[in-house]
Amino acid sequence: MIGRNQIADRHIGSLLEDYPFLASFFGDNGLLVDGRNDATLNELFSEFDEEEREEKAIDQDLLMNQAAEFINQMLAFLNEDNDVHAITILPGTDKSGVPEGFDSLVIKKSEVVSIVGPTGSGKSRLLGDIEWVAQADTPTSRRILINGDIPDSSWRFSTSKKLVAQLSQNMNFVMDLSVREFIELHAESRLVEKPAEIVERVIIEANKLAGESFSPETPITSLSGGQSRALMIADTAILSRSPIILIDEIENAGIDRKRALELLLSEDKLVLMATHDPILALMADRRIIIKNGGITRVIETTDEERTILSTLEELDRTILGYRTRLRAGESLLQGE
End-to-end CA distance of the chain: 73
In the prediction, which pLDDT does 23 show?
82
In the prediction, which pLDDT does 172 show?
66
Q: Which of 69-78, 237-246, 277-286, 316-325 has the highest mean pLDDT?
A: 277-286
Percent of the chain with pLDDT over 90: 32
Q: In what order do the strands lie in the sheet with 112-116?
A: 164-167, 244-248, 270-274, 112-116, 286-291, 294-300
Domains present along the chain, CATH in parentheses: 4-78 (no CATH), 86-301 (3.40.50.300)
Percent of the chain with pLDDT over 70: 88
In the prediction, which pLDDT does 170 show?
61
Q: What are phi and psi of 178, to 5 degrees?
A: -80, 170
In the prediction, which pLDDT does 193 show?
74
Instruction: Give the helix, strand, coil percentages of the chain, each rounded to 5.
Output: 45, 15, 40
Q: What are phi and psi of 135, to 5 degrees?
A: -130, 60
- For the cut 80, the answer to whether the pLDDT of residue 204 exceeds it is yes
CB neighbour list of residue 293: distance below 8 Å, 6 or more residues apart = 94, 95, 121, 122, 125, 139, 140
Higher pLDDT, 291 or 43: 291
**Which residue stretches of the chain are H helix?**
4-7, 12-18, 22-28, 41-46, 50-55, 60-78, 123-132, 154-157, 179-190, 195-209, 225-239, 257-266, 278-283, 303-327
User: Among 52-66, 139-153, 271-285, where is mean pLDDT lowest?
Assistant: 52-66
- The confidence band for 153, taking pLDDT boundaries of 50, 70 and 90, is confident
Q: How does 212-228 read in b/e, with b if 16+ C-beta sit within 10 Å?
A: eebebebbbeebeebbb
- The confidence band for 57, taking pLDDT boundaries of 50, 70 and 90, is low
For residue range 78-101, list pLDDT tens digits in order.
655 457 889 999 999 999 999 998
232-245: average pLDDT: 88
CA-based nearest residue to 257, from 210, 193, 189, 292: 210
Report the distance separating Cα 268 and Cα 162, nearest Å: 16
- The confidence band for 335, taking pLDDT boundaries of 50, 70 and 90, is low
In the prediction, which pLDDT does 216 show?
95
Higher pLDDT, 32 or 262: 262
Helices (H) and strands (E) in the chain, counts: 14, 9
Q: Structure pTM? A: 0.69
In the prediction, which pLDDT does 261 show?
87
Q: What are phi and psi of 322, to 5 degrees?
A: -65, -40
For residue range 242-258, list pLDDT tens digits in order.
888 888 766 555 678 88
Q: For residue 167, how many other CB atoms are within 10 A of its CB?
A: 21
195-202: average pLDDT: 92
Q: Which of 73-82, 94-103, 260-269 has the highest mean pLDDT?
A: 94-103
For residue range 19-42, list pLDDT tens digits in order.
887 888 877 777 777 888 888 888
Q: Is the separation of the CB atoms in 99 and 91 below 8 Å?
A: yes
Q: Is the separation of the CB atoms in 197 and 212 below 8 Å?
A: no
Report the distance separating Cα 73 and Cα 79, nearest Å: 10
Task: Please report, as a single letter, which amino acid is at residue 208.
Answer: K
Residues, the chain = 336
6-10: average pLDDT: 84
Report the distance separating Cα 162 and Cα 242, nearest Å: 5
Task: Please report, as a single letter, which amino acid is at residue 293.
Answer: G
- The confidence band for 158, taking pLDDT boundaries of 50, 70 and 90, is low
Higher pLDDT, 196 or 73: 196
Q: What are phi and psi of 63, to 5 degrees?
A: -60, -40
In the prediction, which pLDDT does 77 show?
60
In the prediction, which pLDDT does 72 show?
78
- The confidence band for 192, taking pLDDT boundaries of 50, 70 and 90, is confident
- For the cut 90, the answer to whether the pLDDT of residue 66 exceeds it is no
Q: What are phi and psi of 312, to 5 degrees?
A: -65, -40
Average pLDDT in the chain: 84
* Separation in Å, CA 307 to CA 174, 286, 302: 44, 15, 9
